[in-house]
Every structure is written in C-alpha cells, then in structure tokens.
Structure 1
Amino acid sequence: MSSAKATIEARHYDVIVAPVITEKATIASELNKVVFKVRKDATKTEIKAAVERLFDVKVEAVNTLIRKGKRKVFKGVRGQQSDLKKAVVTLADGDRIDITTGL
C-alpha cells in the first residue's frame, strides 16, 4: 500500500512545477488565490488533486491559462521562449498556502 501512495505522491509533484511569485500573484493571495506554474498537459482535475494532497487544503476552483512563448534576441542570436501554463487555484475560506516555505 505504501508503494502505491508513493507513486501517487510522485505524480502530484510532477503536475505542479513551481509557484508564481509576482506582484499580481501576491495581490491575488489576499483573495484566497494561489498561482502555480504547471505542466502543459495537466488538466484542472489533476491540478486540484495535486494541490489538495500536497498542501492539505480544500480547493474550490481552478482556472488555467497558457502564455505563448515570446521571440527574443540575445547577443544577436534569435530564439523563442517556451510556452508556459499557469493555474490560478481558488482556496476555500479559512485555508491558506504559504508558498515561501516550499514543499
């Protein structure tokens, strides 16, 4: 049983890549919302399950968005940033996640 739980936990860690710490995300945290970078193929239900299992909170809603990669020039070399998927997770009243402490 413990090996099955370990594979579930590993899958949850793979869904969430990193928290987003920006001014806009900090303002959203006052409204019980937390922003995460997630895998591009992650679904809303997978994101909800991962956040609930990893942080032991109740998730009310998950909104996702995909930011298209920008074209950049660095030292005369053209390149393109990769696409990025973010998830805005709304928590139930009374639940909080302190993303500065890490997992």
Structure 2
Amino acid sequence: MKNPRDIIKKPVISEKSTELLADNKYTFWVDNDANKVEIKQAVESLFKVKVEKVNTINVKGKRKRVRQFVGKTPDRKKAIVSLREGDKIEIFEGL
C-alpha cells in the first residue's frame, strides 16, 4: 500500500465543498492513480474516522494561453468522502 500522505494531497476549500460539510461529506484532491479503496484507507488512517462512501471525479485541466504559447493545467482527481454519523475531521472545523 502507498503512503496515505501520498494519496491525499490537500483538502478542497470552495463554496460547494463547504456546503457539503453539512451532510458530513469532505472533499480532497487525491493522487490521479489512487482508487476508492486506497482513498478510504488513507482517510481512515490519517484522520482516525470511519468512511462509509467515496465518490471520485476526474477533473480535466484547462487550456491556458500566454501570448503565442498554448499550454494546459494538469489533470487532477477529486474525492468526496462520506463519513459515518458522528465522525468529523478537525481541519475543516473553522470553515
């Protein structure tokens, strides 16, 4: 198994993700190669909570242009993790 800190990159702080906190759902940017089972195990080991469900979304990178050069931002993977009733992750408490 991979290191859990390599699977979970950082939390997603956006308007939509903060609305999901009311439903006990937390959003993270994760490794592109991680599957749902690895994400579940990583969240449970890092935050000492019980995960009920994991939904993943592949986010395509946007095309960017600087003068004559055209490039693209990297593709990323987002995971929405549903926790058991009563469990919370402390890093999201101040939002």
Give the alignment's TM-score, normalised by structure 1: 0.84
Q: Runs (4+) of structure 1 moved beyond 2 Å? A: 74-77, 98-101
Aligned identity (percent) is 49
Give the letter for the 2:3 counterpart: R
Aligned length: 93
1:25 maps to which of 3, 14, 17:
17
* Equivalent residue runs for 1:1-103 within 5 Å: 11-100=3-92
CA RMSD of aligned residues (A): 1.7
Deviations for 1:59-95, whole angstroms, at most 9, x for unmatched residues?
A: 0000001011111113443110110100000000000
Which runs of 5 or more residues in structure 1 are unaligned?
Answer: 1-7
Give the alignment's TM-score, normalised by structure 2: 0.90
Partner SS state of residue 49, structure 1: helix
d(CA) in 2 for partners of 1:98, 1:41:
26
Shift in CA distance, 73/60, structure 1 to aligned 2, threshold 3 Å: same
